[in-house]
Amino acid sequence: MSLKKTNQSGLAWILLACGISILWGSTMGPAATRWVDFKAVYYGTRCLIEHHNPYNVIELDRVYRSEGGKPPFESIRDHMGITLYVNLPATFLFVAPFALLPWGPAHVLWITLTAVVFILAALLTWNLAASYSPRVTLFLLCILLANCEAFFVAGNTAGIVVSLCVIAVWCLLRERFVPVGILCLALSLAIKPHDAGLVWLYFLLAGGIYRKRALQSLFITAILSFSAMLWVSHVAPSWIGDWQNNMAAISSHGGLNDPSINSITGRTGGMVISLQSALSVFRDDPRFYNPISYAVCGALLLIWSVFTLRYRFSLDKAWIALAVAVPLTMLVTYHRPWDAKLLLLTIPACAMLWARGGATGWIALLLNGAGIVMTADLPLTLFTILTNNMQIPITGLPGQMLTAVLMRPVPLILLAMSVFYLWIYLHSDPERARS
């Protein structure tokens, strides 16, 4: 098959996979739970525009109800997710143009923007990876892209942040539309630094022109964040304390962001996928699982950082470095499966290793495939339904290990991915080392 036909066929399959997520996601689910995450940032920003404190649950709830929120069949979990506001202030600046509009056109424009940047990110990923192995690239891409319904059901900002991060990587590594890439990286970093942070860190550590661009992105992020904090501080001088209280409440035992199995979302397809969620099976205590998670992830991050600083930049090495950073990003702190769509940035490394042949190509394909499938919306939901009906003994070390594998496979797979790609990264050619 010619390169032109391969590209045409690949683009058709990619658009079909994206269309499945967009159409199914935007039309499925009961009206009460649809757009829950966008409602949070929309009504939070409306609250601020109306000179109320969005980090104060009572004030935000009052604005939400006054504008037609809280239908009688809305669950306590969804209502808490909307009124317990924890997003960073920079999000207000990004959402403000939508919040100035009534709910109807605002959420239509939000889904349109999400769909546009989502499709663009998918096409750019194909452009980055297909030259290595179009079949492997298309296989992994279609699985991931057809399982992004959560972006269009809940309207989480991750749909835009992940897409902007992928667009930024394409612009910076392809050396095209560089100012756009710098802006996209800055926006993703300002809205969800825990998603884009390690990607930004790679460019900083890579040195040369990439460090300059990383610093330019950071400068824009700082301006956006500082401007947003001035706005919030003017309206609500006590917002920092309220934000800390909301973070404590939402992360408390059994809360929305609690990583344990027994949390509100612990047995759903929206579970927390950080390393803490797997370790909590052994001992459900933040004083146990947080230090271990930080120690494991910190050690991997330190090795990766030192190695990145020591070696000259190359495109092949950049893909491996990002394939280490992306799964590690999901493990360090609170993330959910929709954040893991950032695994788009691991597909070029997998396709490259597959093209080289040998055992490493097979391992890369198996790990990437497992990571993408187990964070895919439909397979993960089906998996949780099946495992929730299992009777698993959780007493004793063997039972706890079985529970971690069956109930929390995602962080274990992501950890295996990060360790594998780090091993590949460490065994790169030594002649590339900086003098």
- Does the pLDDT at position 328 exceed 50? yes
Query: What's the angle, vertex CA 113, arms to CA 111 and CA 118, rounded to 5?
Result: 95
Residue-wise pLDDT tens digits, 13-22 = 999 999 999 9
- Does the pLDDT at position 1 exceed 60? no
Q: Please report the pLDDT score of residue 360 as a whole number.
A: 95
Q: Please report the pLDDT score of residue 312 as a whole number.
A: 87
- Name residue 311's beta-bridge partners: 433
Q: Please report the pLDDT score of residue 388 as a whole number.
A: 75
Query: CB of 291 within 8 A of CB of 421?
Result: no
Rounded Cα distance, 34 and 88, in Å: 22
Residue-wise pLDDT tens digits, 254-289 = 777 888 887 777 777 778 899 999 998 888 888 999
Radius of gyration of the chain from its Cα atoms, rounded to whole angstroms: 21
Rounded Cα distance, 177 and 180, in Å: 5
Which 3 state secondary structure label does DSSP give 193?
helix
Q: Which residue has the higher pLDDT, 39 or 402?
A: 39
Residue-wise pLDDT tens digits, 150-189 = 888 888 999 999 999 999 999 999 999 999 999 999 999 9
